Structure 1
Amino acid sequence: MTATTIPGRRPILAYGFGGLAGMAAAMGIGRFVYTPILPSMMDSLGLSASDAGLIASANYLGYLAGALMAAGGGSQGRERTIALSALAASAVLCGAMAVSDSLVAFLIVRFLAGVASAYLMVFLSAIVLGKAASAGRPGVQALHFGGVGTGISLSALITGAVFLAGHGWRESWLAAAAVSVVALAAVAMLIEGVPKSAARPAPEPRLVWTAPLVRIALAYGLFGAGYIVTATFLVAIVRQGEGGPLFESAVWLATGLAAAPSVWAWGFVQRRIGLTTTYAVGCLVEAVGVGASVSMGGYAGPLLGGVLLGGTFVAITAFGLQAGRAMAGAAPRRALALLTAVFGTGQIIGPLLAGYLADWTGSFTAPSLGASAVLLLAAVAALSAGKVR
């Protein structure tokens, strides 16, 4: 047996690529394909920026609800079944977006899609990261989380191809559903289940609210509210600047390509300067990109914004959770639940406020600059939490 093989099972890289496929479908496509499809929906259906922000927030509310429900326990031994079911639901819900033009229907479908993506993330990550730890290959997590950027890139290619074929937003959702079905088949082939253990995990003590933990939680909530504005409206910003549908897809493709290796790349920085400092630096870099997306103009601003967004947000999300876990003492699961809640709350509030502000001012400049300021505050809050390796 080698270090890359699970005893009596398939190679660990099979789990890594299975995780990548699942995260690409449920997270990169299921959650974020809305961003490149949104401008066409706004033009065709007359949706306002406030409507668009409300639909986005419904998805993030679903993600928050799903993550908290998935953390409730009682599913040991059924992780694979739940993950595959969530991925199937994500594919169906992508298709469901194509068959309605009702705002209420969009809200319901995107809420449910958020729940599905959370369940997939929690249970597929439990399998892949657990297998990676057993095989002594923790680096496989970079491949697994690289699925988010891979899915974002695929969503850009989907919308670009649909435009070139002369079709519209409904066909984009249907194509996203078809790609998700392919990913479902890949995950089913590559991922084996986890046998149920007779041992029950010991209950955790109450979470001790130390000052550093409160500050990193504040930083995590602020980050959730700041990054999600550009992650939701970046392609709409390009549309408003009359960049054209192909440039819209190019910006979103650049975002995904930057996101795919970001956890791996930022890992080198984290090992040198620690979790909280890396988190703060990532927020600063992202703040520059968010501001550039609306202030530089032309092609350079949105492209720079997309690259800096993609190159930071997945890694910052991961490092924030790691920092909170390190500060939690004997209650790491409770800390993860807390951080998920504050991050999810930020994701819900950000698009709502940004959408209303965009309608009020007539552009996405003020919401984006506000989001950039929020990311700067997140960096300050993270640094104030102290250094965590």
Structure 2
Amino acid sequence: MSPSTSMTGLHYGWWIVISAIFSIFVCLGIGRFALGMLLPTMGEALTLSYVQMGWISTSNFVGYLLGALWVRRLIPRYGERRLIFLSLMLVVATMLFVSVANNFLPIAILYGFTGLGSGIALVCTISIMPHWFTTSWRGRAIGFLSIGFGLAVILAGWAVPWIDEQMAQTGWRLGWGGLALVCVPLVLFNLAMTRNRPTELGLTPFGGELERTDAHQKHDLQSVWTQDILGKITPRLSFIYFLFGLTYVVYATFIITTLVREHGMEQAKAGQFWIWLGVCSLFCGPLFGGFSDRFGRRASIAASLSFQTFAYALIAFGSGAWSVYASVVLYGLSTFSLPLIMGATVADYASPERVAGILGKLTAIFGIGQILGPILAGVMADYCGEFTAAYLASGSLAALAIAVTLTLPDPSGKE
């Protein structure tokens, strides 16, 4: 029996993928993106302004930023498995407390701690994957994690409008609490199944047999990247990730509010678009992950950003349901793939042992973009009376990110 194959014939790395899918479901799908569905009715019930809603979103990313910065010091001491469990439980607990909060300030503070848990869990979840999969499988394996995000968005898009219809002004409270409780068994499954390294089970990374003959060459290549080029790559990746964080979050936070308040849609109908976003997100990771394994991370990042640019343009200029559907489909097919591809990209340029540290830095810069995005969009919306200008600015900045992406060198060492 191959050392990279478990007793069942299925490499344990794929159980790691399933556990990671559940982690993403909790920390991002529910902990972050459910806000887009919950925000309109919560804002109405608590009479929140656009700026206050933006600050609630931003508080999440302040916590997310702190978590991404902190995680590099926590992993050597506690390990990814324990950190993922504790951070996911923090997400669940703070969402439960949000469900009983009565005004803006405690919600913003609590949701900041939700972001702290999300940031730690995301970095740990993605950084553990390169240890379990070799380069030729890394993009696909990490790409599957988008399934967790998609399932969570579908659940929120279906459940939140139904709860709001049944419970009226208090529906948002049951929404926060109910979604948090759904996460508990997934967190426990993650704790039971996750292992930090294949060596804990006497295994090697999946795909190891295919790449073992090139091990020395790859080790030498990674040394070259580490010593000579990685310092030049990291600022470019940081700028791309910053622009992505600054732009995608505007759409994620305010698209439902835009449809309800500016397009006059009922919450339930707007929720159908959110479900479509979730359905498309089920495929975005495998789609762009496989694309990146075949055509390279640079091409995949540029393609993902191109989809997002068109999505922002459609929601800004389009009219009618078709433009909204097209925008949501393009956004759903591309957006969540980019953080996953970024993780695979870092793993291509650096050794697995350095991935968490570099990814933590990038995620912190990404978090700064996410902090600024909702605030700036909220200010623009309050000034203009609508979100059109914010979506146009997002599209322009995404186009700039594409231009920077095209300057990235290939991991083979060729510019």
TM-score range, shorter chain: 0.7 to 0.9
Query: What's the RMSD between the two structures over aligned residues?
Result: 3.1
**Equivalent residue for 1:278, pick from 262, 279, 300:** 300
The 10-residue stretch of structure 1 (113-122 or 210-219) with the greater mean CA deviation from structure 2: 210-219
The 10-residue stretch of structure 1 (149-158 or 316-325) with the greater mean CA deviation from structure 2: 316-325
Aligned-partner Cα distance in 2 for 1:126–1:386? 22
CA deviations 1:349-380 (Å, max 9, x no partner) are 11110011001111111111111111111111
Does residue 298 of structure 1 match 2:320?
Answer: yes
**Does the aligned pair in 1 maintain the 2:138–2:293 contact within 8 Å?**
no
With the length of structure 2 as denominator, give the TM-score of the two structures.
0.82
CA deviations 1:63-101 (Å, max 9, x no partner) are 111011111245456432222221121111111111112
Aligned-partner Cα distance in 1 for 2:12–2:362? 33
Aligned-partner Cα distance in 2 for 1:39–1:323? 36
CA shift, 1:208, in A, is 6.0
CA shift, 1:132, in A, is 4.6
Aligned-partner Cα distance in 2 for 1:146–1:185? 19
**Does the aligned pair in 2 maintain the 1:4–1:12 contact within 8 Å?**
no
Classify 1:195/1:159 alpha carbon distance in 2 versus 1 (closer, same or farther; 3 Å). Answer: same
Size of the alignment, in residue pairs? Answer: 383
**Does the aligned pair in 1 maintain the 2:32–2:115 contact within 8 Å?**
yes
Q: Which residue in 2 is equivalent to 1:122? A: 123
The 10-residue stretch of structure 1 (379-388 or 310-319) with the greater mean CA deviation from structure 2: 379-388
- Segments of 5+ residues of structure 2 without an aligned counterpart are 201-224
One-letter identity of the residue aligned with 2:175: S
One-letter identity of the residue aligned with 2:178: A
- Segments of 5+ residues of structure 1 without an aligned counterpart are 198-203
Q: Which residue in 2 is equivalent to 1:21? A: 22
CA deviations 1:32-88 (Å, max 9, x no partner) are 111111111122111111111111111011111101111124545643222222112
One-letter identity of the residue aligned with 2:84: A
Does residue 179 of structure 1 match 2:202?
Answer: no
**Equivalent residue for 2:361, pick from 313, 319, 338:** 338
**Does the aligned pair in 1 maintain the 2:5–2:11 contact within 8 Å?**
no
Q: Which residue in 1 is equivalent to 2:105? A: 104
Q: Secondary structure at the match of 1:31?
A: coil
Does residue 258 of structure 1 match 2:259?
Answer: no
Q: Secondary structure at the match of 1:166?
A: helix
Aligned-partner Cα distance in 2 for 1:385–1:125? 21
Aligned-partner Cα distance in 1 for 2:233–2:80? 33
Q: Secondary structure at the match of 1:261?
A: helix
**Does the aligned pair in 2 maintain the 1:357–1:367 contact within 8 Å?**
yes
**Does the aligned pair in 2 maintain the 1:207–1:331 contact within 8 Å?**
no
**Equivalent residue for 2:401, pick from 364, 374, 378:** 378
The 10-residue stretch of structure 1 (156-165 or 359-368) with the greater mean CA deviation from structure 2: 156-165
Q: Which residue in 2 is equivalent to 1:201? A: none
One-letter identity of the residue aligned with 2:377: A
How many percent identity over aligned positions? Answer: 23
**Does the aligned pair in 1 maintain the 2:140–2:285 contact within 8 Å?**
no
Q: Which residue in 2 is equivalent to 1:38? A: 39
Give the helix-richer structure, 1 or 2.
Answer: 2
Aligned-partner Cα distance in 1 for 2:165–2:141? 36
